[in-house]
Structure 1
Amino acid sequence: MAGPLAQPTTPGVRFGPYRTVSFDGCSSIKVPDSERNRGWLGRCPHGGYPQVELMTLVETGTRAVIGAVFGPTREGETSYATRLSHHLDPEMLVLWDRGFDANDFLATGAQVLSRIRQRRRPPVLQSLADSSYLSVIGGVPVRIIEARVSVTCTDGSNFDGSYRLATTLLDARRYPADRLVHLYHERWEHESAYYALRHTILHGRVLCSHDPVGVEQEMWALLTLYQLLRRTMVEAAESRPGTDPDRCNFTIALQTARDLLVCAQGAFEPGIGEIGRRVLSALSPARRTRVSTRKVKSPISRYAERKLDGRPDRSKVVTSTTITLLPPPSPEPTLPATTVRENTGNGKTSSRMARVLAIMQAEPERLWRSREIAELLGDVTLVATYRQLARWTERGMIKRARTGRYTAITQTTTPPARPGVHLQDRPRRTDQPSPGGHRRPRPARRHRRPAHASHRRLLGLRPLRFLHRMQAPGQALPGGEGPAGGVLPARTKGNGERMTAVAVEISPRRPPPDDGPTQAGDGLPYFTRPVLAPAAKVTRITGIADMDPLMDSAKCSCNAGDDNPH
């Protein structure tokens, strides 16, 4: 049942000697939210029902399905498209968008006309007369066309866009660049095929089956019905010479088939039958050239529309189209090692990240809110701004000053700090006895720490990574200096590793006086609160004293091995 339907002489189905086909996917067919369907398809993060990913190879002139495969959306369109590559043959010219911009798709044996990403750097091997140039991608000789398309509408408004196409049709005289740019628009015929499946036949309804086997049966039945109607429409168009099959109305064919099924009539009529006669009696006029922005009607989708993308919100009729072919770059004598840039961005100064950095660097002292940045950009939703700012913060491109506030990173000559725990010299605590004997007052705090906070801190809430080995947690430790046998509390981390609280020397307090009375703490090292260390990291503790679980600090000295810098 599947396969191309048009004859070689049918209008609108070929470009020269090649039959035009296209790859595209559809992920908006919904199935019941049952346990079996969720186990097969997974949950949809942006909708209430599991969704089936449908990938088809379609004949653009008739919108007939040549091959189809479907399954969970997590596998991706490119993975499904590789399963349909065996349907391609050298007599086909396949069209696809930037989502299929991969080297593997160029080596299928069929001719290719595809849109490629701006981040590719194909070498310029030879400039041609039509402003295109010869190059190579993935070992396949290609021809690169860079053009700017401008359209003028009936109200006088103008809209334009840039296109970068790659094709295996290397003959610039036989296949001019401007004709190939016009031909690339035929890829949108694939969207009309999906519109007939999702809306004309299903009317947006959810499939009925609650298990994967039933869903597969429904999907194949849906595709079979669609292909039968397309076959009837193509036969009707070919019965009238010079009729383009895309003028046949799919809605009329579907409604006529329903009427005949209810009345049980016209099942074995010769010729094109009742469906073909009704289709020919109401042929659509030649399609008008129109332009409008891409907009998603469903409110639970990831995005509603592309704001300020250069196209009108409502559809407008185009009166004229101008294609300006851009000159190629200067030829390169040698081939680069790769045709893809090292970074993952598009490299444009007008990219969203570059615009955000320019906004922040204009006022480096200002703390920017996400809503302010989204309003200044104008072409992105607030939710997308949240995600991108968080992603750029993780990459170190911008800095989060506090919750919801961002600023640019100031360039300094100080090298970045090494990740991990770094202990620095700390000043003496203000509540320790001063040399004069009186106690300095503790600075007033707005919020007093509860009494049990010191105990929690003593039990070890900070990781310690540079100590090397220790005895079993909770056992008495030998003391060489001071009271022996201090007992350290222990706890277990989430991964099962035993951790022990130890006190670490930060800086010596002050040397003992040569003469005169000895003050409390003279000559003793100063320690912060005990911190958490793995039990297998500390070699030995040479001395321990005053290890009171209710104290904020402990006094001891430790030897963590010769290779320990602290």
Structure 2
Amino acid sequence: MEGKSKAGERVRIGILTKVFTTELVDAAIARHDRGERRRRLLPARLVVYFVLALCLFARESYEEVLRVLTSGIPGSRALTSVNRSSLCRARSRLGEEVLETVFRQVAGPLATPDTPGAWWRGMRLLALDGTQFDLPDSARNGDTFDGPSTTGGLPFGFPQVRAVVLAEIGTHGVLDARLGGYRDGERSLAYPLARSTGFGDLVIADRGFWSVEFAYAFTSTGAGLLVRLQSNHLGTVQEELPDGSYLSMMRPGKEVRLRAAREGRTLPKHTIYRVITFMKDGKVVHLGTTLLDPEEYPATELIALYRERWEIELAFDEIKNHLGPGGPIRSRTPAGVRQELWAYLAVHHAIRQFAHPTERRLPARQWTPTVFPT
């Protein structure tokens, strides 16, 4: 058993060294000018590998992670005599931006044309959603990120980071993410993620995201949208379509227009989108989509397609419970929290990159569209 354990450790360390090459890590360090200036300091490159290894071995102690790291990465012997407090100071000197850059250097699409579940009618399927990560209950984490509270404002549970993530449905590979506090809105965190979409992408999202601003941010890149609508986002009917769906129009409200003007942004006077209505578990469900042609994009297939959004929940489970500790992460400072979460996203993407060739050999997923009610 011990031999198998050590072999597994070598495989996981091998993932680090193959995906996060020394050239990639050094470029991220140089970009943020985080190289060590005194010879007695820990090399920044080793600190990056240590933070990544903390996420790869999330349930192990600092000491055990050091043992595994020094036995698997050349040049890491400098870490063997370093104590925990020195490592914490080294992480603080490194900062959060380096790990965010490392993540962004490896993040991106993984699906190939034959990846099961990754495509629909020539479009790459992406899911967008938010999740929360529990943090250690330190005063600084609580002050910076906040967390759940009673109606009277009394905090309970752990402080939490809110993350909004854009991921491929077929591979669970994360393309982009934004981190914020517990009370930051998912929609506002989602706007910048539009930069990671483009022509040929179909972004699927749950309730709470749709708005004129949201639709404009993503359609401006050429991406399509399929989003569950709240009842107050049905807009004004413009045209009934043969399949029972209809074209609708929504205008930005006055406050939205003023805010956009203050920020130097322009919004369209109105947005045209298609509304599809169906029954699920005895309840009426509305979907909004920018795919307007009912013949080219059948409503029954879009209804079935919306269910694929749940693949992103599996990605969250992989990050939190299979890769992560299944509870609060380690870091007790806000900068350390963000550093650690960017590392988790980077390591998860590396693992999905290695898993993807195996998954491609699985049989293709079968579509089972719900019958659209007339």
TM-score range, shorter chain: 0.5 to 0.7
Match of 2:343 in 1: 221
Match of 1:188 in 2: 310
Q: Distance in 2 between matches of 1:40 and 1:121?
A: 36
Residues 123 and 144 (structure 1 numbering): CA distance in 2 closer, same or farther, change over 3 Å?
same
Match of 1:39 in 2: 143
Correspondence for 1:133 among 246, 258, 265? 246
Q: Report if the CA contact (8 A) 2:300-2:370 is conserved.
A: no
Residues 219 and 177 (structure 1 numbering): CA distance in 2 closer, same or farther, change over 3 Å?
same
Q: Does 1:14 align with 2:119?
A: yes
| Partner secondary structure for residue 129 of structure 2 | strand
User: Which digits, 9 at most, give the CA deviation of each residue in 1:510-530, with x for residues without a partner?
Assistant: xxxxxxxxxxxxxxxxxxxxx
Q: Which one-letter code corresponds to 1:118 in the other structure?
A: S
1:212 is displaced (CA, Å) by 1.5
Match of 2:259 in 1: none
Q: Report if the CA contact (8 A) 1:178-1:325 is conserved.
A: no
Q: Distance in 2 between matches of 1:121 and 1:212?
A: 39
Q: Which one-letter code corresponds to 1:187 in the other structure?
A: R
User: Which digits, 9 at most, give the CA deviation of each residue in 1:483-535, with x for residues without a partner?
Assistant: xxxxxxxxxxxxxxxxxxxxxxxxxxxxxxxxxxxxxxxxxxxxxxxxxxxxx
Correspondence for 2:184 among 71, 75, 84? 75
Q: Report if the CA contact (8 A) 1:53-1:71 is conserved.
A: yes
1:116 is displaced (CA, Å) by 1.0
| Partner secondary structure for residue 248 of structure 2 | strand
Q: Report if the CA contact (8 A) 1:145-1:325 is conserved.
A: no
Correspondence for 1:178 among 276, 300, 318? 300
Q: Distance in 1 between matches of 2:336 and 2:232?
A: 43
Q: Does 1:30 align with 2:152?
A: no
Task: Report the TM-score, using the length of structure 1 for normalisation.
Answer: 0.41
User: Which digits, 9 at most, give the CA deviation of each residue in 1:437-496, with x for residues without a partner?
Assistant: xxxxxxxxxxxxxxxxxxxxxxxxxxxxxxxxxxxxxxxxxxxxxxxxxxxxxxxxxxxx
Task: Report the TM-score, using the length of structure 2 for normalisation.
Answer: 0.60
Match of 1:145 in 2: 276
Q: Distance in 1 between matches of 2:235 and 2:306?
A: 20
Q: Distance in 1 between matches of 2:128 and 2:373?
A: 26
Work out the percentage of aligned pairs sharing the same amino acid.
Answer: 35
Gaps of 5+ in 2: 1-105, 150-154, 252-269
Match of 2:90 in 1: none
Q: Which one-letter code corresponds to 1:192 in the other structure?
A: L
Q: Report if the CA contact (8 A) 2:125-2:203 is conserved.
A: yes
Match of 2:99 in 1: none
Q: Report if the CA contact (8 A) 2:147-2:182 is conserved.
A: no
Q: How does 1:95-244 map to 2 (within 5 A)?
A: 95-107=204-216, 108-109=218-219, 110-138=223-251, 139-149=270-280, 159-238=281-360, 240=361, 243-244=363-364
User: Which digits, 9 at most, give the CA deviation of each residue in 1:335-363, with x for residues without a partner?
Assistant: xxxxxxxxxxxxxxxxxxxxxxxxxxxxx
Larger radius of gyration: 1
Q: Distance in 1 between matches of 2:285 and 2:240?
A: 18
1:321 is displaced (CA, Å) by 7.6
Match of 2:195 in 1: 86
Q: Which one-letter code corresponds to 1:36 in the other structure?
A: R
Q: Which one-letter code corresponds to 2:125 in the other structure?
A: T
1:322 is displaced (CA, Å) by 4.8
Q: Distance in 2 between matches of 1:216 and 1:142?
A: 37
State the structure with bigger RCO (CA 8 A, min sep 6), 1 or 2.
2
Match of 2:167 in 1: 58
Match of 1:486 in 2: none
1:180 is displaced (CA, Å) by 0.7
1:228 is displaced (CA, Å) by 1.0
